[in-house]
Structure 1
Amino acid sequence: MRLISEGCPALLYLNLSYTDITNGTLRLLSRSFSNLQYLSLAHCRKFTDKGLQYLGSGKGCHKLIYLDLSGCIQISVEGFRYIAKSCSGIKHLIINDMPTLTDRCIQALVEKCQQIVSIVFLEAPHISDTAFKALAECKLVEIKIEGNNRITDLSFKLMSKFSPYIKHIYMVDCQKITDAGLKILSSMRNILVLNLADCISISDAGLKPILEGFSVSKIRELSLANCTRVTDATLMKIAQRCHGLTYLNLRYCDSLTDGGVEALGNLHSLLALNISGIPITDLKFCHGAKHLDYCDVSYCLQLTNNSIKHLAFSCHKLTSFSMAGCPKMTDVSVQYLSGVCRYLHFLDISGCVHLTDRTLRFLWKGCRQLRILKMLYCINITKPATSKHSVKLQKLEYNSDDPPPWLGYDSQGHILLTIWNSKSSQFALENTFQRLDIYGC
């Protein structure tokens, strides 16, 4: 770092993540890099609060607008106060993987850093609504938080009141977010990206006001992955009103049916779609979604070759496709894909137990731009056939092992876990568990 400071005094961008820098380097930054704007100290564990105090002692780092402190669990409230004093112009802040991060840390930071427009807290479980009260002093445009059980609907109320221009809301796996909170969001006018994946308490009732609200025509990306209470009624609303939607994630929304998914054919703007793990039997929506570039139908156990035929002939511009864990697929499905989808760069056919070496011949002939191929648990595809053409690929994942039980079917493609087809059985099973420990994963 001393050599860099001597040779590159005009440096704007510096990424020191996962290095063994100490307080000495932070002192060097404050003395030498007066123009530095981007700094990443992610997962650097050998500097202390004292090092952060050095940042304000020289001419450097006062122009910093981007700071990444992910994984720096040694920083205390005092350390954040030093950052605020030295780098008050920060606009973009990332603090992921911080189990030690508390509301007091954010309060100390925001006392002087009030130009923040983008803040990211992934895996910061102790942050609560109190932090959002402090952030009300900032004009937030983007907020990301994941894996939190303390954030409630109050945070949405604070966003609506103090951050009316927010565009990107990423609230993933926040268990206390409910339909009441979503109704508050319906008054916001500028939402472009809304990610509510794994917020398992939300349902059609909460999404309806948003899909009838001021932002509905502006939403470009929407993720409702694992929101199991969402039904076809929400899909109908999405199809009718989200005319600018380009990305939609419905992974494991297992209350959806063929009828709801078919309505998505009205979304002519759609470029990327994830419907993996949904109990559908066909892909008729593809006739209207002709511009799809990315599609994931993995673990849709009932899909057949005819479904892939619909997809291939309607969405011939696909560059990325996954049908992993679809036990009914045969070589014919790949023949359809390779015959029409000539732009495929990525393909995942893992767990398709009926595919044979013919599949590879179809791919090598038709998909000449294929770069990444995943073929795990393809028991009827041989190693010699795989090795013959693997040099054409940038990345290949292959084995011929029997499919593991968690895929839900055996080596013949026979479904094992039929209990999940019954909601009453699922409810009964869930209420049987008193304790579940999974060690060593």
Structure 2
Amino acid sequence: MKNKVVVFYKTGLNDENSPLDIFENSSVIYYNYEFNEVEISSKLNGFWDQMGDTIKTVKLQNSDVCEKVFVYMLEKCAYLEALAVQSCKELFMSGRLLEGKTVGLLSNSLENLKILSLSGNQYLTDALFDRFVSAAPSLEELNLSGCSLQFHLGLVKKFYPPNIDIFQNPSESVLTFYFVWQFIKSRAKYFKRLLFSNTLIDGSALKLLSETENLQLLSLEVHSCDQLTNTGFLALTTHQTTLRELDVSLCTRVTDQTLVHICKSLVNLEYLNIQRCRAVTDLGIAELEKLKKLKFLNISECELITKDGLKKGIFNEQNEILEELDVHSLNLDQAAIIMLSETLPNLKSLNVSFCFNAVTDVSIQVIFKNQVLLHTLKMSHCDKVSDAGLTGMRKVEAEGDDEASMSDYDEPDVVRPRIHLGSRAEEEIVRDARRKRDVMRMCEKLTTNSFTGYSLARMKGLRELDVSSCNKITDVSLTYAFNFKEMIKLNLSRCQQITHEGLEHLVKNCRSIEYFNLTDCYNLTDEAVKEIVTGLPRLQHLELRGCNQLTDRSLEAVRSHCEKLKFLDVQGCRFMSPELACAIGSLPTLHTVLMSKPGPYITDGLKNRSSAPAFLPALMRKFRLH
């Protein structure tokens, strides 16, 4: 229960029947609260009065709260351990937050604060930062990602002349790295985790930070920091050898030299993310075999990495430690995926999306055979995967044998023409239909004596699956390969051959689905939506964008059966009336409806310029029109 988080997203907390009342009257104590895109006014003071002493974590994100209410809230949360105030620009805009005696009043409330996040606040200054940290003597983690940190030495000289105590007169105009570094330096022995992502931090600043006396970091996150250079990373790996987590993703200047330093010195790393560090090649990846404690690795979108580098690195020997691996968008082949599967038996999360040539019916069956512990599998846009691979209804020895491997189930008396006079697209349609028919027969005729490969259904604990844009998947797979009691997230977007028949079996066998994406599944009808909303009692997020056969009957089904739905996307469903889509916003849990913007429609070659329907003002907060 200590890890459970209560999230209020786009919710009216000031209404008479506020959802906060539920938690005030609950016999169960919740310690962590997140407020995202909500208004927090003085009407909620009673909640803080009653629950403040039990709250350990408060997160405010994109929320509307005034300074007076914010201070009152902090005063009542006397045992706060984590505070996040993210992207709340109105709170910082005046520059007077926590001014005067307020800091002294809050010192008792924030004395146990270990985690502070002020990310995404462009109006943050040295003075505001100082007021927060002065009241929190026990900080271990600081997040300033996305803040307008200034690194220019000219600004430091302007606002902080030599021989003065900067903490006595912090700047109310800018947020400087120099001031933040001086604060970190003053409490270096306490800090364990720092986050400076999406800032202009450069090699010199990272070097200065890394060489801070008594600083022994366990985690550093600096993703999307384009100014970082090898100079900074060399200092980091030399002085911060205690690091266990390092995120340098989207840092364009990370090279093989950087990775060599990381793998040589940071031997305790358990988490490493170098996504889209495009200068990294096989030379650097080969060094990964030195990181024996690595549990999470993301090397996706590094275009110069090949199978050879991976073979020398993480696939060098049997690895039972690595649990999460992301290799999406790499230039790999089928043999690389097979090698991955055979050397990493304890994987729990795997992302091989956009590995077009690597993910085939052959390689995924090897994954189904070895990675039975997987709870997350993503293979989006891997269009070589078909029903035969997902169901395990054939043993595929080599790539490109789609036709021959099914021959045992072909009708002997059917003579097929040797010359096909249709277009290439028509030929592909015929081939898909033939493939679907043959696999269906194999599933129906399955006996104990017939050979079966390894099916997706072997992964009993699968919770998240993404097979979007795998257009060879049909109702056959949904009927025979999908049986997951713990499945929460399922993405079937652009799997355009699935229909209500397959979904009927799917919802019976995967009743725990909460997030369901069916974008651009053109063959879905109102009957399919009815199967979904009646068969999935936990459904919270439903995407039906571009399913252009759907009508108002689908919206009626959603309104009648979805008691927990929070998000609905029906953009591009041209047969749905805006009036009904608007009225569906009356569902108590629904906070976001995405629909196509009403406008002139073409009828009989002429634009119908009738006025758009009137929307209910009370429901407008739930809609974002496109």
TM range (shorter): 0.7 to 0.9
* Structure 1 residue aligned with 2:146: 71
Q: Deviations over 1:71-97 (max 9, x none)?
A: 233332634541431231211211122
Match of 2:372 among 240, 243, 251: 243
* Structure 1 residue aligned with 2:494: 299
1:144 aligns with 2:144: no
On the 8 A contact 1:50/1:79 being kept in 2, the answer is no
Return the offset for 1:312. Answer: 2.3
On the 8 A contact 1:30/1:61 being kept in 2, the answer is no
The 10-residue stretch of structure 1 (118-127 or 181-190) with the greater mean CA deviation from structure 2? 181-190
* Structure 2 residue aligned with 1:276: 468
Taking a change above 3 Å as real, the CA distance of residues 64 and 267 of structure 1, as seen in their structure-2 partners, is same
Q: Deviations over 1:249-271 (max 9, x none)?
A: 33334565555555543322211
* Structure 1 residue aligned with 2:349: 221
* Structure 2 residue aligned with 1:436: none
Return the offset for 1:110. Answer: 1.6
Aligned residue for 1:324, secondary structure, equals coil
Q: Deviations over 1:303-353 (max 9, x none)?
A: 444443453233222111110122222223223323432221211111100
On the 8 A contact 1:201/1:229 being kept in 2, the answer is no
Between the aligned partners of 1:381 and 1:324, the Cα distance in structure 2 is 16
1:399 aligns with 2:595: yes
Aligned residue for 1:287, secondary structure, equals coil
* Structure 2 residue aligned with 1:377: 572
On the 8 A contact 2:526/2:549 being kept in 1, the answer is yes
**What's the RMSD between the two structures over aligned residues?**
3.9
* Structure 1 residue aligned with 2:235: 134
Q: Give matches, 1:53-132, under 5 Å.
A: 62-76=137-151, 78-79=178-179, 81-88=181-188, 89-98=190-199, 100-112=200-212, 114-132=215-233
Letter in 2 for 1:374: D
Taking a change above 3 Å as real, the CA distance of residues 160 and 346 of structure 1, as seen in their structure-2 partners, is same
Return the offset for 1:384. Answer: 4.1
Return the offset for 1:394. Answer: 1.4
On the 8 A contact 1:230/1:256 being kept in 2, the answer is no
Between the aligned partners of 1:62 and 1:80, the Cα distance in structure 2 is 15
Aligned residue for 2:465, secondary structure, equals strand
On the 8 A contact 2:254/2:280 being kept in 1, the answer is yes
The 10-residue stretch of structure 1 (158-167 or 310-319) with the greater mean CA deviation from structure 2? 158-167
Aligned residue for 1:147, secondary structure, equals coil
The 10-residue stretch of structure 1 (82-91 or 275-284) with the greater mean CA deviation from structure 2? 275-284
On the 8 A contact 1:347/1:373 being kept in 2, the answer is yes
Return the offset for 1:22. Answer: 5.7
Structure 1 or 2, whichever has the larger Rg, is 2
On the 8 A contact 2:85/2:119 being kept in 1, the answer is yes
The 10-residue stretch of structure 1 (177-186 or 160-169) with the greater mean CA deviation from structure 2? 177-186
* Structure 2 residue aligned with 1:326: 521
On the 8 A contact 1:221/1:248 being kept in 2, the answer is yes
Aligned residue for 2:116, secondary structure, equals strand
Q: Deviations over 1:381-408 (max 9, x none)?
A: 2234434543124134243569xxxxxx
Letter in 2 for 1:127: L
1:42 aligns with 2:106: no
Aligned residue for 1:124, secondary structure, equals coil
Between the aligned partners of 2:309 and 2:506, the Cα distance in structure 1 is 32
Aligned residue for 1:122, secondary structure, equals coil
The 10-residue stretch of structure 1 (305-314 or 81-90) with the greater mean CA deviation from structure 2? 305-314
* Structure 1 residue aligned with 2:422: none
Q: Deviations over 1:105-148 (max 9, x none)?
A: 11111212632222222321222444433332242222223323
Aligned residue for 2:248, secondary structure, equals strand
Taking a change above 3 Å as real, the CA distance of residues 148 and 328 of structure 1, as seen in their structure-2 partners, is farther
Q: Deviations over 1:170-196 (max 9, x none)?
A: 333322344554444355444443334
On the 8 A contact 2:383/2:471 being kept in 1, the answer is yes
On the 8 A contact 1:68/1:93 being kept in 2, the answer is yes
Q: Deviations over 1:31-54 (max 9, x none)?
A: 8566542223324455666987x7
On the 8 A contact 1:119/1:142 being kept in 2, the answer is yes
Aligned residue for 1:295, secondary structure, equals strand
Percentage identity across paired residues of the two chains: 22
Scaled by the length of structure 1, what TM-score is found? Answer: 0.74
Match of 2:506 among 294, 311, 330: 311
On the 8 A contact 1:171/1:196 being kept in 2, the answer is yes
* Structure 2 residue aligned with 1:287: 482
- 5+ residue gaps, structure 2, are 1-66, 152-176, 323-343, 392-454, 599-626
Letter in 1 for 2:359: T
Letter in 2 for 1:272: E
- Paired residues, what number? 399
Return the offset for 1:13. Answer: 4.2
Between the aligned partners of 1:125 and 1:27, the Cα distance in structure 2 is 38
Between the aligned partners of 1:387 and 1:140, the Cα distance in structure 2 is 51
Taking a change above 3 Å as real, the CA distance of residues 81 and 341 of structure 1, as seen in their structure-2 partners, is closer
Scaled by the length of structure 2, what TM-score is found? Answer: 0.54
On the 8 A contact 2:456/2:482 being kept in 1, the answer is no
Match of 1:252 among 374, 381, 388: 381
Taking a change above 3 Å as real, the CA distance of residues 59 and 371 of structure 1, as seen in their structure-2 partners, is closer
* Structure 2 residue aligned with 1:359: 554
